[in-house]
Amino acid sequence: MSHASGRHFLQIPGPTNVPDQVLRAMDMPTIDHRGPDFQALGQRLFGKIGKVFGTTNPVVIYPASGTGAWEAALTNTLSPGDTVLMYETGHFATLWKKLAEKLGLKPEFIAGDWRHGADAAAIGERLASDSGHEIKAVCVVHNETSTGCVSPIKAVRDAINAANHPALLLVDTISSLGSIDYRHDEWGVDVTVAGSQKGLMLPPGLSFNAVSNKALEASKSARLPNAYWGWGEMLEANSKGFFPYTPATNILYGLDTALDLLYEEGMENVFARHDRHAAATRAAVEAWGLEVLCAEPAHYSSSLTAVLMPERKGADEFRKSVLANFDMSLGAGLSKLSDQIFRIGHLGDFNDLMLMGTLSGVEMGLKTAGVKHRAGGARAAMEVLTADRTAGSISKAA
């Protein structure tokens, strides 16, 4: 293969671009994970990781992918044969359901159309009918990475409370943490699941469980086996700055720096930046005459935008053309959306010019691949991005 000059555009919805500062932080000699230098790192991390989740409670860090954190959330809180209520928001909600089945749980799936987030009213209605409290947990994906639809987690908690139901609330934030407003404590979430490779701006390799007091109490009587995933040994070691087994030491150095970058920018500013980029991307899609997959504006994702292909076919060939001609990777349609959509990731370490490069690449790709569209999407996005960049604000900043 010939050398491609310039930088590859990785515009899938994760793994995302890793900032240079984070890469440099990981470029460290391996150290003794039982020694004082590592202990100082661990204590520093456990002291500040909760802020990005919106919690003052413990956050358990695993050397694993997000799938591991899914399993940890279930095995630490539930017992064989327990019923869990889940909502079909897309591919990843479906995978979480399949994992629950493999663990010996009984997931009850509320059907969805893959174009909306979870329906809090439907969840509340089902819980209200569960007079015997057979349902032990409600599992919801906050931002469904396969569809670009966000579920209203606070509304789900309110529905659980309105039904006066004791079920735990377990939430997957793998593609929303650090990108979309999220509040573990304030919204009454019991276990928040997350991964390192998206809004946290790290390579794959770490996953997380933020844990409420109610979840910790449930873990005392949970009977699903969880030797590797058990919270008890982890929290005991974490209290001293250590892990009960070998951690992903160098990625933890990166996490330390990534959290600093997020907090220096300010989480409200991080969320606003993602909101702007998502709005600009949707403006481009509309100008192209294409359709955003998410059908409910209140559920639009600020992490990614999934775009329906004309006649709902040809997405894979289009993505291949974009990669071949412009060295840019776009996200594929997954399972029943295969070949019907492409996904534009706009999360993590990302700015206005990177977004304009991305959308220009998509527009050139549409033309090159012969996909029916209107020109002007990149221009429409530019108008959104410059709307609040007035001459007065620039002069003042100077």
**Residue 55 resides in a domain:** yes
At 389, is the pLDDT very low, low, confident or very high (cuts 50, 70, 90)? confident
The count of residues in the chain is 398
Question: Cα 371 to the chain's mean position, in Å?
Answer: 30
At 2, is the pLDDT very low, low, confident or very high (cuts 50, 70, 90)? confident
- Structural domain range at position 124: 21-263
At 398, is the pLDDT very low, low, confident or very high (cuts 50, 70, 90)? very low
Is 312 marked within a binding site? Answer: no
pLDDT digits (tens, 9 = 90+) for 8-23: 999 999 999 999 999 9
pLDDT digits (tens, 9 = 90+) for 219-238: 999 999 999 999 999 999 99
pLDDT of residue 390: 61
pLDDT of residue 3: 80
CATH number for 361: 3.90.1150.10
d(CA 369, CA 223): 54
**Residue 372 resides in a domain:** yes
In sequence order, what are the residues at sequence separation of 6 or more whose Cβ sits closer than 8 angstroms to the Cβ of residue 298? 152
Q: Looking at the structure, do residues 254 and 270 belong to the same domain, yes or no?
A: no
At 1, is the pLDDT very low, low, confident or very high (cuts 50, 70, 90)? low
pLDDT digits (tens, 9 = 90+) for 145-157: 999 999 999 999 9
pLDDT of residue 263: 98
d(CA 144, CA 91): 8
Asked which of 213, 230, 263 is the last residue of a domain, the reply is 263
pLDDT digits (tens, 9 = 90+) for 19-61: 999 999 999 999 999 999 999 999 999 999 999 999 999 999 9
Asked which of 203, 232, 263 is the last residue of a domain, the reply is 263
Looking at the structure of the chain, the number of domains it has is: 2
Return the closest-CA partner of residue 179 out of 93, 79, 305, 271.
271
pLDDT of residue 394: 45
d(CA 183, CA 212): 12
Structure tokens given for 196: 């390192």
d(CA 335, CA 33): 40
**Residue 3 resides in a domain:** no
pLDDT digits (tens, 9 = 90+) for 354-373: 999 999 999 999 999 999 99
Q: Looking at the structure, do residues 199 and 285 belong to the same domain, yes or no?
A: no
d(CA 363, CA 97): 37
Q: Annotate 234-250 with DSSP letters as a single string.
A: HHHHHTTT--SS---HH
d(CA 158, CA 120): 8
Residue 397 has pLDDT above 70, yes or no: no
Q: Looking at the structure, do residues 34 and 143 belong to the same domain, yes or no?
A: yes
CATH number for 244: 3.40.640.10
Q: Looking at the chain, list the stretches that DSSP marks H as alpha helix, in order from N- to C-terminal side.
A: 20-26, 36-48, 50-53, 66-75, 91-102, 120-128, 153-162, 213-219, 231-238, 249-265, 267-288, 315-326, 352-368, 377-386, 391-397
pLDDT digits (tens, 9 = 90+) for 188-201: 999 999 999 999 99
Taking all residues of the chain, what is their mean pLDDT, rounded to a whole number?
96
